Structure 1
Amino acid sequence: MTKRQRALLAAIAREHLNIETLETRKSDSLDFHDCAVWCIESALQAAFEAGREAERKQHKKG
């Protein structure tokens, strides 16, 4: 995974799941989160749309 992709996933996690970082911090209270299903759905939709947009941009270049 590229740095840009990691940054995008981290931004989605912050925005949709209220997760500060996706880095492992070796602490249960920091590494495990309770998330509402609608927040998870929203994050998955954002990731899916980001993938669609990346594919669309790649296809235009091709």
Structure 2
Amino acid sequence: MHLGGTPGDNDAAQTVAAEIARRHLQIECLDTRNSDGLDFHDVAVWSLRDALIAAFEAGARKVHGLEG
């Protein structure tokens, strides 16, 4: 999936997305593995909310030059 920007930006976005998935959703990786048990997950709405907030905050830090 391409998220826009330069290839380096896309790599960074993929890394951040994977970390958010691990931390907030307990999803080991975001690669398609062609297995229902590995590709589909039950996620609590509060975990999804926290993951979306984390993604928003990561984007805001990127825009304002506060990455890290």
TM-score (norm: length of structure 2): 0.82
Segments of 5+ residues of structure 2 without an aligned counterpart are: 4-9
Which whole-Å CA distance do the structure 1 matches of 2:12 and 2:52 have between them?
A: 18
Partner residue, 2:13? 5
Higher relative contact order (CA 8 A, sep 6+): 1
Residue identity over aligned pairs, in percent, reads 50
2:62 to 54, 57, 60: 54
Partner residue, 1:40? 48
1:25 to 27, 33, 40: 33
Shift of 1:31: 0.1
Moved over 4 A (4+): none
Q: Secondary structure at the match of 1:46?
A: helix
Q: For this pair of structures, how many residues does the alignment match?
A: 58
